[in-house]
Amino acid sequence: MNDLQELSTFSHEINNSLTLIYGQIQCIEKTYDTLTGNDHWNRMKDDFSSLFDFIHQFLAPAEESSAAMEPLDLISVISEIRSSWSYYLHKEQIRFFIQADPGTAFYVYGARSKLFQLFHNLISNAVKAIQQKKETCRSPHITHITVHLSKEQGHIVLNLSDTGIGMTTEQQSRAFYRGVSFHPGGNGIGLSVVQNIARDLHIKIHIDSAPNQGTTFTLIFPAYEQQLSCPTRTEALTK
């Protein structure tokens, strides 16, 4: 059996297990109907749904695996992902900031499930880098993840920065290689998935990093001739 077949079989088994787990979640919700008003419970169900979508796309034939494209508000996307990671961020005492001009809309045209998977992998990488720095540096240091959004020459530019262990120039050159990981116990799949999704959605991605100084991933979203007519909104961006 080749690697692709083994990975497909593995993903299929994960899908079956998650289906059983989600069935138990639905049973619990029916028993304790007050859970439907709990934000953390609803977020958990949304995360399960996103994971199901990703696995379905992986298992589907190539011609059927394209996810629906739609206008997406990047601030809303990042805010939802921050909420999903809130437990782990609180546990590791990592602050998460979203920085953007109030009232400015940052809409892109893309596949929701793929975009969520991309950012989940980037944030997972950032959290592991921060954990690794905590383990190697005895002196206390500031730990945070920052997402900064801006508009430059018709493009939306997103910088995702962490205060983690950082990477050498040589490590940066291999960061997106499948199977290459610089974190203890890492499988080297997360960033290769990020690169594949970025390629599918025509997003340019760059790394800027230095040892013990943290890492910044810069994502440049493609410009579109026709502006999406979406309302602007003002909200609290930092937590």
pLDDT tens-digit map of 17-49: 676 676 678 778 888 888 888 888 888 877 777
Instruction: Please give the average per-residue pLDDT across 137-165, as a whole number.
Output: 89
Residue 233: closest CA among 76, 83, 81 = 76
Q: What is the pLDDT of residue 139?
A: 62
Confidence of residue 8 (pLDDT cuts 50, 70, 90): low
Asked if the model's pLDDT at residue 2 lies above 70, the reply is no
Q: Taken in order 188, 194, 200, 205, is the CA torsion positive or negative?
A: negative
Instruction: Please give the average per-residue pLDDT across 99-119, as a whole number.
Output: 89
Distance CA 207, CA 78 (A): 19
Share above pLDDT 70 across residues of the chain, in percent, rounded to a whole number: 75
User: Would you list the domain boundaries of the chain?
Assistant: 3-64, 69-221
Residue 78: closest CA among 174, 175, 154, 156 = 156
CB 213 within 8 A of CB 162: no
Distance CA 106, CA 158 (A): 10
Confidence of residue 153 (pLDDT cuts 50, 70, 90): confident
Of residues 111 and 8, more confidently modeled: 111
Q: What is the pLDDT of residue 52?
A: 67
Distance CA 199, CA 173 (A): 17
Please tell me the class of the 69-221 domain.
alpha beta
Q: What is the pLDDT of residue 86?
A: 84
Identify the H or E element spanning 148: strand 144-152
Tens-place pLDDT, residues 182-213: 777 666 778 888 999 999 999 999 999 999 99
Instruction: Please give the average per-residue pLDDT across 89-110, as a whole number.
Output: 90
Quick one: how far is CA 194 from the chain centroid? 8
Q: What is the pLDDT of residue 150?
A: 94
Q: What is the pLDDT of residue 230?
A: 45
Residue 45 three-state SS: helix
Asked if the model's pLDDT at residue 179 lies above 50, the reply is yes
Residue 104: closest CA among 231, 15, 10 = 231
Share above pLDDT 90 across residues of the chain, in percent, rounded to a whole number: 34
Of residues 146 and 153, more confidently modeled: 146
Q: What is the pLDDT of residue 65?
A: 47
**Residue given tokens 């958990």 in the structure block:** 44
Give the DSSP per-residue string, 52-96. Answer: HHHHHHHHS-GGG-PPPEEEEEHHHHHHHHHHHTHHHHHHTT-EE
Distances 48 to 11, 16, 52, 86, 151 between C-alpha atoms, Å = 15, 13, 6, 16, 32
